[in-house]
């Protein structure tokens, strides 16, 4: 049986084993079935789930080259099929970006 991939909760780096990240020293954790944790989305590595709501999930992500941390909200597949919810999602994103 192979060990599951581990993901650093600090920077999103992956490792095959260990308790702490070799890159930043953050704790390593199994991604617990979320297919995005530990992957790259655009220029960002997905480090962990911050929260989940009716429209989707919010992830902590890290830019691997400069270390900036961001929150990325991903719309659920069920909501992505509804144009009104997609419009609301983008309106919310625009509002948050102004803050």
Q: What is the predicted pLDDT for the residue at 97? A: 87
Mean pLDDT for the stretch of residues 4-13: 86
Question: Which 3 state secondary structure label does DSSP give 92?
Answer: helix
For 28-54, what is each residue's pLDDT tens digit? 988 877 889 999 999 999 999 999 998
Mean pLDDT for the stretch of residues 59-87: 93
Is the pLDDT confidence value at 4 over 80? no
Is the pLDDT confidence value at 91 over 80? yes
Q: How many CB atoms lie within 10 A of CB 25?
A: 10
Q: What is the predicted pLDDT for the residue at 35? A: 87
Q: Where are the alpha helices (DSSP H) in the chain?
A: 77-80, 83-98
Mean pLDDT computed over every residue of the chain = 89
Structural contact between residues 61 and 23, judged by C-beta atoms closer than 8 angstroms: no
Structural contact between residues 57 and 51, judged by C-beta atoms closer than 8 angstroms: yes
């Amino acid at each position: 049986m192979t060990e599951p991939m581990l993901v650093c909760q600090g920077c999103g780096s992956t490792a095959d084993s260990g308790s702490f990240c070799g890159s930043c020293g953050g704790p390593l954790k199994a991604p617990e079935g979320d297919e995005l944790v530990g992957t790259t989305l655009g220029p960002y590595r997905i480090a962990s789930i911050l929260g989940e709501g009716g429209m989707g999930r919010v992830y902590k992500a890290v830019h691997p080259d400069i270390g900036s941390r961001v929150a990325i909200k991903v719309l659920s597949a069920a909501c992505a099929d509804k144009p009104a919810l997609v419009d609301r999602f983008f309106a919310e994103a625009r509002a948050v970006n102004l803050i």
